[in-house]
Amino acid sequence: MATRIRLGMVGGGNDAFIGGVHRIAARIDGEFDLVAGALSSTPEKAKASGAVLGLAPDRTYGDFREMAIRENRIKDGIQAVSIVTPNHVHYPAAREFLKRGIHVICDKPLTSNLPDARKLVKIAEESGALFVLTHNYTGYPMVRQAREMVAAGDLGELRVVQVEYAQDWLSTAVETTGTNKQSEWRTDPERTGAGGSTGDIGTHAFNLASFVTGLEVESLSADLDSFVEGRRVDDNGHVMLRYTGGVKGMLWCSQVAVGNENALKLRVYGTKGGLEWAQEDPNYLWYTPFGEPKRLLTRSGAGAGDVANRVSRTPGGHPEGYLEGFANIYAEAARAIRAKEAGEDIPADVVFPNVQDGLKGVAFVDACVRSSARDAAWVKLAL
């Protein structure tokens, strides 16, 4: 077996939800070893988290810049870093590692604002290092299957794209209670950016629709609201989309939709058929050829092709989902890193969201905020 890729982590202390998810994902296929970290913005907490996670004391750092400098200098320093911090830290942290040639695996969105996103694209392109953005839903097998079917023309000429991501966890002002750290920074525009639900889950919906269809948004019209009194970022957004080629789209993102836990859904319709996929039931893809009965395609089963089977781990009927989706992004990153460091071309079947996809996501949030401020005027993405 090949030597595991030496991985560092910025953010994601031992009690952080998303940090734990990334660590599990990196371990599932045995491709990475977590060997270093700057796990908290507080040096004391960073050290404590490093000890809990079994990191060597001299590989547990008080800040990410110190980590980037030293890991770049020492023998067997990290080859890649996971950045799992609040949004406003993504740009400065990624910059430090990219300029030293260390591959970056970064949580979404790319940055908290569009100027930083543009700068990060340039830094990533000049560094020669890989940049992987963890839009984890692109790793789901049946999402890969849907993408393959659209590309193969099974739906014919596309006409309509509908995507929604509904949650209810911010239906009250939980960020003011002091009991939920996630809600505090995700509703703080200084840390999350100008978009609330649009930046947190709207970017996932936007990315998923583009990933499956291959379409680019030309312009959009957004109506954003902050329904919870005193909240400084949006918690609900209705967005109309105009895609290339005349395709029309609708996107709804909400964190105040009572009764919804993590309801990400995608529907794509063309001249020859339609597809439907729901994240809460991710092992199934509904396909309806025009004029024929609806067909249920299952992961590792009836109707699934090689593109889905390649990223499946368990037999059909054994559910795979959120953690495995993240793991597939890490597995793709590992293949790309190994090829890159061997001086080889990245395999053609390796698929992961990159820094350009991240820029589009931040531009989507920026456009939504600008449009809503102008009474839902149609605006173009400022890429």
Over residues 365-378, mean pLDDT: 98
Alpha helices in the chain (DSSP H): 17-28, 43-52, 64-73, 87-98, 114-127, 141-151, 181-186, 189-192, 197, 203-213, 306-309, 322-341, 355-373
Domain boundary assignment for the chain: 5-129, 140-314+359-380
User: Where residue 233 falls among pLDDT bands split at 50, 70, 90?
Assistant: very high
Tokens at 173, concatenated: 């002002």
Q: What pLDDT is recorded for position 15?
A: 83
Indicate the pLDDT class of residue 265, thresholds 50, 70 and 90: very high
Q: What pLDDT, on the 0 to 100 scale, is given for residue 14?
A: 84
Tens of pLDDT along 178-219? 999 999 999 999 999 999 999 999 999 999 999 999 999 999
User: Sorting pLDDT into bands at 50, 70 and 90, what band is 2?
Assistant: confident
316 or 328, greater pLDDT: 328
CATH architecture of 5-129: 3-Layer(aba) Sandwich (3.40)
- Between CA 374 and CA 205 the distance in angstroms is 23
Mean pLDDT of 44-67: 96
CB 195 within 8 A of CB 234: yes
May I ask the CATH architecture of the domain 140-314+359-380? 2-Layer Sandwich (3.30)
Q: Chain-centre distance of CA 211, in angstroms?
A: 11
pLDDT of residue 302: 76
In the prediction, which pLDDT does 20 show? 96
209 and 251 Cβ atoms separated by less than 8 Å:
yes
Q: Supply the pTM of this predicted model.
A: 0.96
Same fold, 5-129 and 140-314+359-380: no
Is the CB of residue 145 less than 8 Å from the CB of residue 275?
Answer: no
User: Does residue 259 surpass a pLDDT of 90?
Assistant: yes
Residue 103 has pLDDT above 80, yes or no: yes
Mean pLDDT of the chain: 96
Tens-place pLDDT, residues 26-36? 999 999 999 99
pLDDT reported for residue 1 = 57
Q: What is the pLDDT of residue 188?
A: 97
